[in-house]
Copies of this chain bind each other. A is one copy, B any other.
Amino acid sequence: MSLSYALLALLLDCPSSGYELNKAFEGSIGCFWKASHQQIYRELGKLEELGWVNVQLVPQAGKPDKKIYSVNELGRSQLTAWTARPADITPIKEEILIKLFVGTLVEPHVLQSHIQQHRQDYEALLAAYETIAAKWFPAPQNLPVEDHLRYLTLRCGMRYATSWIDWCDEVLAYLATLN
């Protein structure tokens, strides 16, 4: 259900093709949602059937036609109603925590390299978020409301990545005592 609304949210900002929406999820929007291109195309089809979006076919020379989707009045009102409804917290599902839980099945150095890789991945994510923040929100004090709210979603991503990095350091410190 949420994916539809995530797509509507992006389309509201800027009418786009499925391909462009997929790019968005790979970029800064990735700090709050993620979907594969197959899922996006299927979901856009459903939104079209529901009549929440309009489609405009844009022929292109030498490339397949682009289907540009945009949110119509019905879609906008559905998105607004959904936004007003409360949101539950998301349960945690973390493969790496299962692996740590049964960590004594493997050698400590195996866990160590898992956690080191995780730390690196979150470092890279944090760096990406920081680049985006520096580029789009260099002076967060004086942003229009809309932009400030978006800046806050990025802040969430940054805090998230930072908290993982700190935890990895805590785990690595412990694992180091096992050698």
Residues of A bordering B, CB below 8 Å: 2, 5-6, 9, 12, 30-34, 76, 79-80, 82-84, 86-106, 110-111, 113-114, 117-118, 121-122, 125, 145-146, 148-150, 152-153, 155-157, 159-160, 162-164, 166-167, 170-171, 174, 178
Contact = CB atoms under 8 A, between A and B. Distances in A.
Contact of A100 (B2, B101, B149): B149
A36 to B, nearest CB: 11
A118 B98 contact: no
A110 B97 contact: no
Contact of A30 (B91, B96, B98, B122): B91
Given A152-B171, A160-B163, A90 B79 contact: no
* Centre residue among A102, A110, A121, A159 by max chain B CB count within 10 A: A102
A18 to B, nearest CB: 18
Contacts of A92: 30-34, 157, 160
Number of copies: 2
A172 to B, nearest CB: 10
